[in-house]
């Protein structure tokens, strides 16, 4: 018998087995993530029950911290820090919903239009962003490259658990909670009627979600085409901004701040939330992505000179 058909058949078997193992890893990974987040939710609920007489803002903060510690413990147990990744998008709508329930006295029928607008926009954002993570995560064998880099490049003598807890998990939790500070007045102060600032908040927040969705889809389509392997994404929104998805995320938090400002102008100081988001993306996320792209793709340094990092504009010519 000709060896070529046998080799082809063997190759197909290997790919089939490899695909089955990959799917098994994904299924196992997502099951573990689900169980971890259920445990984190139960731990947070226990904190809420124990501190029920405290201010809802502080109660939510401590529940958030404890839930993060549960996810951290699970990530250390399976040696994969990416278990934390969906926390960024899962926790905020849960916290906001808890505040709405508290504000409405448990009667969601009494919720105001502003409260519903904030909740629905946050839910749409959370579902889309979590789904985007789920599509790209391949299971327990897959850890975000940034975490791998942090593990390999951490200073001598600094334990990995500390880097994982402080830099990968607790820091984002605190940054997101800073962003949520504006959501508290937006969903708890109901004395001010719906106004022009609310309309602006809807437009900014909804537009931010759309910007993220479109840019992520354009990126996935570009990366999924074998013709573009090794190329720099420069189509659609990516032609005018190197990180339009990051810009969308930043604008989302500014939109939530506008909701808080519309509900309670005295809470203007919660602007520290979206400002913190700007600092995170400008000084951490964008530089890390740019350094990686410059190391992997020839011509990326030139691309950086011609296309802005965040705010779009027509690309410059040589």
Mean pLDDT, to the nearest integer, of 287-310? 93
Are the C-beta atoms of 84 and 103 separated by less than 8 Å? no
Instruction: Calculate ∠ Cα 76-42-113, nearest 5°.
Output: 115
pLDDT at 314: 87
Tens digit of each residue's pLDDT (9 = 90 or more) over 9-45? 433 443 343 344 345 678 899 999 999 999 999 999 9
Tens digit of each residue's pLDDT (9 = 90 or more) over 220-239? 999 999 998 889 999 999 99
pLDDT at 23: 56
φ, ψ dihedrals at 241, nearest 5°: -150, 140
Mean pLDDT, to the nearest integer, of 178-187? 97
pLDDT at 24: 61
Domain segments of the chain: what residues? Answer: 3-306
pLDDT at 318: 59
- Shortest CA distance to 258 belongs to which of 208, 220, 317, 297? 208
């Amino acid at each position: 018998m000709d060896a070529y058909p046998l080799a082809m058949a063997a190759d197909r078997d290997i790919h089939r087995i490899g695909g089955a193992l990959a799917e098994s890893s994904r299924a196992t990974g997502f099951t573990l993530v689900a169980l971890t987040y259920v445990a984190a939710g139960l731990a947070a609920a226990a904190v809420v029950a124990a501190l029920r007489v405290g201010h809802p803002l502080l109660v939510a903060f401590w529940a958030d911290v404890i839930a993060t510690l549960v996810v951290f413990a699970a990530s250390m147990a399976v040696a994969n820090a990416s278990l934390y990744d969906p926390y960024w998008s899962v926790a905020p709508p849960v916290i906001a919903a808890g505040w709405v329930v508290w504000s409405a006295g448990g009667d969601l029928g009494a919720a105001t239009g502003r409260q519903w607008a904030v909740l629905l926009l946050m839910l749409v954002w959370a579902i889309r962003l979590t789904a985007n993570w789920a599509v790209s995560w391949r299971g327990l064998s897959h850890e975000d490259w940034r975490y791998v880099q942090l593990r390999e490049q951490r200073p001598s003598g600094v334990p990995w658990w500390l880097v994982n807890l402080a830099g990968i998990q607790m820091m984002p939790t605190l940054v997101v909670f800073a962003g949520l500070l504006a959501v508290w007045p937006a969903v708890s102060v109901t004395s001010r009627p719906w106004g022009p600032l609310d309309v602006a908040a809807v437009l900014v927040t909804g537009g931010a979600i759309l910007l993220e969705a479109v840019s992520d889809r354009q990126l996935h389509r570009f990366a999924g085409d074998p013709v573009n392997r090794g190329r720099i994404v420069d189509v659609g929104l990516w032609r005018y901004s190197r990180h339009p998805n990051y810009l969308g995320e930043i604008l989302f938090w500014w939109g939530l701040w506008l909701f808080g400002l519309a509900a309670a102008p005295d809470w203007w100081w919660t602007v520290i939330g979206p400002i913190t988001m700007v600092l995170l993306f400008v000084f951490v996320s964008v530089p890390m992505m740019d350094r990686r792209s410059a190391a992997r793709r020839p011509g990326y340094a030139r691309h950086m000179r011609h296309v802005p990092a965040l705010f779009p504009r027509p690309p410059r010519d040589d």
